[in-house]
Amino acid sequence: MSEAEKFYALLEKLSNAFGVSGFEEEIREIVIKELEPYADEVTVDKFGNVIAVKKGSSNAPKVMWAAHMDEIGFLIRAIDDKGFLYIAPVGGWYSVVVAAQRLRIRLDSGEYIYGVVGMKPPHLLSPEEQKQAPKLDKLFVDIGARSRKEAEEMGVRIGLPADLDRELARLAGNRVTGKALDDRAGLAVMLWAFRSVEPRGTLYAVATVQEEVGLKGARVAAYKLNPDVAIALDVTTANDLPGVGPADQVARLGGGPAIKVADGRGMSGLISHPAVFRLLVDVAEKEGIPYQLEVLTGGTTDAAAISLTREGVPAGVISIPARYIHSPVEVIDLEDALNSARLLAKATESMTKEWYESIFK
C-alpha cells in the first residue's frame, strides 16, 4: 500500500465520522485511538479537546499544533404537526448547497436516522423566487414521519445535531471528495506528522473542538498549555476554477501546502508571526517541498485565537488547498496533504533552543 493510500484510509475514517461543533464524541474517539500509539500521554480537557504529548528537552520551545475536529452542521430547532423538521445552522452555510441534501440526525441513543432537505418545488416558485437563493430558515427536513408524534416516537427532539450523509470518494489521480475536509484534512495531516516527528522541545498536538463556531476549543487549550510557538493546520480556499481570475484564486490544488501570510476581513484574523512564517518558507525550500503563499481575505483559523492567548503566542498556519469548502463535495489533493505533513514535521524539528532565543530573547 502506497503512502497516499495509507493516508487516504486515515482521512476516510475522519471525514466520514460525525462531529458537528459541540457534538464531537464520535470523531474524538477515533482521534484518541490514532494518537495513543505515538504519544507519551493523551488527555481530554474539560472542554473536549484531545491533547497528545511528545516530551522533549525542557530547554527547547514548547510547540502547540492545532487542527479542529468539528464540522459545520445543523441543530433541529422545530418539529411541525406533520412531522417535518426545521434546522438551525451550526457554522457557516450557503443555503444553495443545503437544499436537496440528505442528512444524518444523531439521536440521544447514538443511533442515526436519515432525512432529506426539502423546499418548495421549483415549478411552484414565482419568477421572482426563482431568481433568489432559498432561505435556510424556510428549508425543512423530511424524515418520512406523518406527524409530530411519530417523529418524537422515532427519537427526534429539539436540539439534536445533524450532519451531511456523505462519504469520502476518490476522483482522478490523488484527488478526493467528501464532507468535512474542513478540517478533517488538517486533522489527518496533524495525526500523520505526529507519528514520526521528533520535536526538540515538548510537543502538544491538539485536536480542537468548536472551531467553526468561534475558535473556542483552541482558545481554552492554548491558555492551559501556554506554548512558546504554535502552528495550526486547516484548509484554505483553492479557487483555481473556471470563471475565477488569478488574483482571486488564493491557492491552487496540487500546488503544495499554502503557508499563510494573513487572513480575515481586513486581515483581522491572523497576521502570521514573521519568524514562524520565515521558518516555514525556509524549511520548505531546504526540503524541496512545493509550497504557495496564502493571503485569505475572509475566514480565519485556530491560530488567530492561540496567538492572542496570555501574553501572546507566535503562530503560523499550514493550509491544505481545498475546493468547494463548506459544502458536501469538498475536494483536496492527497499530495498537498502529505507535503503539508512533511513540512509540519520538519519545521517543528527545526524549532531549536537557538532558533527560539535568537528571535524572542
Q: Which of 24, 34, 71, 211 is catalytic?
A: 211
pLDDT band at 275; cut points 50, 70, 90: very high
Positive or negative CA dihedral for 25, 216, 176, 192?
A: negative
pTM metric for this prediction? 0.96
Reading the block at residue 41, the C-alpha cell is: 500521554
**Per-residue model confidence (pLDDT) at position 133:** 78
How far apart, in Å, do the first and last CA atoms of the chain sit? 46
Give catalytic status of residue 211 as yes or no: yes
Strand 229-237 with 258-263, pairing: unpaired
Tens digits of residue pLDDT in 57-90 = 888 999 999 999 999 999 999 999 999 999 999 9
Q: Cβ(11)–Cβ(62) under 8 Å?
A: no
**Per-residue model confidence (pLDDT) at position 356:** 95
Structural domains of the chain ordered from first start: 3-71+179-360 (3.40.630.10), 73-164 (2.40.30.40)
Q: Is the peptide bond before 183 cis (omega within 30 degrees of 0)?
A: yes
Amino acid residing at 195: R
Reading the block at residue 1, the C-alpha cell is: 500500500
Region of residue 110 (left: phi > 0; alpha: psi -120 to 50; beta: else):
left
Check whether 126 has a pLDDT greater than 80. Answer: no
Q: What is the distance, to the nearest Å, from the Cα of residue 184 to the centroid of all Cα atoms in its chain?
A: 5
Reading the block at residue 361, the C-alpha cell is: 530573547
